[in-house]
Structure 1
Amino acid sequence: MSTPPAVTPMAFVRCIVLAFERRGMDPAPTLAAAQITPAELCDRQARITALQMEAVSAAAMQALDDEALGWFGRRLPWGSYGMLCRASTGAATLGLALKRWRRHHRLLTEDVLLELEVGENTARLSITEHRALGELREFCLVTLLRYVHGYACWAVDSRIPLLEAAFPFPAPAHADAYAHMFPGPVRFEAAQAGFSFDARYLALPLRRDEAALNGMLKRALPLTVRQYRRDRLLAQRVRERLRQQPGANADEVARALFLSTRSLHRQLQEESTSLQALKDAVRRDIAVELLLRSSRPVKQIALAAGFDNEKSFTRAFKGWTGESPAALRQRAGNAPG
């Protein structure tokens, strides 16, 4: 079994230590629980694994009885974020669940407020700061966004790709770690912290019941330190990408969707489809649409559908429809004049 990579910045652990110091408490037992040595703690280049981050966070939350780990003006006792999950999980859709999460989070603290803005195609969850967070600012904003994103992915049993994650501070020395925490474009020195995603995910029904919630809450922290794998809208997103670039190969599609090529193929297989099947469907739809609604020559339509030449296009088209492009156009009465 391979050792999980150490990518989480030690800077976040130092923030946890600072929370202990402010309370006049000894962080040593908590660090020991995660096998973090004093020398590693002082090494500003050091990184820890997701399992270590889970261990140190869980131990600190229980020792401090504060799930916010010192971020806010008041403690959030153990179980606070579990309460938010319970209050949100009964919602019919993810959109309603996130609205409940945002509203109930305000009952815990008004130091930061969550906002959910929904546009025609894009949704954005953002954080408005109403209290100076000081040295804990980065750790607070990063972790809170990961809490919400992790819960959302878990609730609909799907990876929810981010179109962008934004943060209102300069890129830190460990900025490369953000690619692991927030796969997709990351922007620093933004007006406020937040992330945006495809608004269609908000319409997905929640797929978790009370039993699943109880099981998740026994080990909820992995939601914030590990990436969810399955994407229930992946096939739709692949189709859209192929509409933009019908001739794209697997590597190009995967890169555009911030996936590895292997993950792309595996996840599509889990949805009982394949990249080739989606590509054929998109190319066929493009070709039929242009044949019936335009007078463009077949050669041009072949190129628009992602083929290198008319011959290979005609052969593929016959396989899809049982007739040639010219025959379909003639039968529909749209032959070029």
Structure 2
Amino acid sequence: MNWASPTSRSETPIAFIAAMVNAYTDRGMDPAGALRRAQITPKLLSQPDARVTALQMEWMSEAAMRELDDEALGWFSRRLPWGSYGMLVRASLTAPTLGVALARWCRHHGLLTDDIHLQVSQSQGVASLQLSEQRGLGALQEFAVVSVLRNALGVACWLTDSRIPLLQTTLRFAPPPHTDSYRVLFDGPTQFNAPTNSLQFDAGYLSLPVRRDEAALQRMLQRALLLTVRPYRRDRLLVEKVRQTLAEHPEHSRNADDLAAWLNLSPRTLHRQLKEEGAGLQQLKDAVRRDLATDLLLRTQRPIKQIAAEVGFQNEKSFMRAFKGWTRQTPEEFRLAKAP
């Protein structure tokens, strides 16, 4: 798997390269060709503090997976043949939401190996993807656990086309010598010597719809390892939270400062993240007003003037002008056209 941000900086611990070399050795195979393709000199393996770039990790991982015919790179008691993880993703494509997709992914992973057990749960607004070790993973524990968790996070982000920031990562093993690399591997705080291996994030992401299809999967599989390296910038959950706040808590939505404070963000962060998602605050306000107005027009016989006030317009004239801009119809025309 690929571990660092896709830059030229050398952030990936050489320990992960060494783990793949050990997988070759255990099977009586020579890693020299894979190391050459990844442009990693053998002497680098003897330098505990050495780092390689994300691209080198990607090259080495792909070569090793193909030559060993094992996408698990020696972590488990039996090989996971090339294409195993793609099969897991395909099984999740038809899920309606990320929560269902991840549950399927975890369940089907158990069909590939029973050396680990994966489970998704949520409590008090926090989702947790837990990895339990069913047998000792030995010297490969760190490489295996980090690999599987990073892969699951990458798949989740890809399925929803959304950045999923982590609240916390917990790991059962002790801090390794390259602990500083974990600021790149996982955002948010990382706790070592923890009771469980887990990724924790806002449970709201589990409700996001799966946005990918078979055609997208085929394109992704051409460079599937990027799932574990590419930082998603889009945060679709933020847009949903803004919509919900605008609709349910208008008292906190008078301006960007009030809204940002309600969402525990700075105004600058709110605007930046909405821009990355391709949305604007005024655009979302208009969408919420439009949805509320159309709902009231269809469900009630309230006068247009009263509906205009309920959706936040100062007068009927400005509401009618805005509504015609949204629907190309006046409120009366819309109500008559939709009447049974």
* TM-score, normalising length: structure 2: 0.73
Q: Following the alignment from structure 1 to structure 2, what is the Cα–Cα distance between the partners of residues 82 and 89?
A: 11
Question: Contact 1:54 / 1:225 at 8 angstroms: preserved in 2?
Answer: no
Pair 1:106–1:271, CA change in 2 (3 A): same
2:161 is matched with which residue?
157
* Match for residue 109 of structure 2 among 105, 108, 116: 105
Partner SS state of residue 113, structure 1: strand
Partner SS state of residue 221, structure 1: helix
Pair 1:245–1:131, CA change in 2 (3 A): closer
Question: Contact 2:97 / 2:207 at 8 angstroms: preserved in 1?
Answer: yes
The alignment status of 1:124 with 2:128, answered yes or no, reads yes
Partner SS state of residue 55, structure 1: helix
* Match for residue 242 of structure 1 among 261, 264, 268: 261
Q: CA deviation at 1:269?
A: 4.9
Q: Following the alignment from structure 1 to structure 2, what is the Cα–Cα distance between the partners of residues 267 and 5?
A: 29
Partner SS state of residue 57, structure 1: helix
1:293 is matched with which residue?
none
Pair 1:265–1:38, CA change in 2 (3 A): same
User: Which segments of 5 or more consecutive residues in structure 2 lack a partner in the other structure?
Assistant: 1-5, 246-258, 285-311, 315-340
- Counterpart of 1:141 in structure 2: which amino acid? V
Question: Contact 2:208 / 2:237 at 8 angstroms: preserved in 1?
Answer: no
Question: Contact 1:234 / 1:268 at 8 angstroms: preserved in 2?
Answer: no
Count of aligned pairs: 268
Detail structure 1 runs of 4+ shifted over 3 Å in the superposition: 235-241
* Match for residue 80 of structure 1 among 56, 81, 84: 84
Q: CA deviation at 1:225?
A: 2.4
The alignment status of 1:273 with 2:280, answered yes or no, reads yes
Q: 1:50-104: CA deviations, max 9, x gaps?
A: 1111110000000000000000001111111111011111111111111110110
Question: Contact 2:234 / 2:276 at 8 angstroms: preserved in 1?
Answer: no
Q: Following the alignment from structure 2 to structure 1, what is the Cα–Cα distance between the partners of residues 224 and 185?
A: 16
Pair 1:118–1:244, CA change in 2 (3 A): closer
Q: CA deviation at 1:217?
A: 1.1
Root-mean-square deviation (CA, aligned residues, Å) is 2.5
Q: CA deviation at 1:176?
A: 1.2
* TM-score, normalising length: structure 1: 0.74
Indicate the structure whose relative CO is greater, using CA pairs within 8 Å and at least 6 residues apart: 2
1:170 is matched with which residue?
174
Q: 1:168-216: CA deviations, max 9, x gaps?
A: 0111111111111111111111011110111111111111110001111
Identity across the alignment (%)? 52
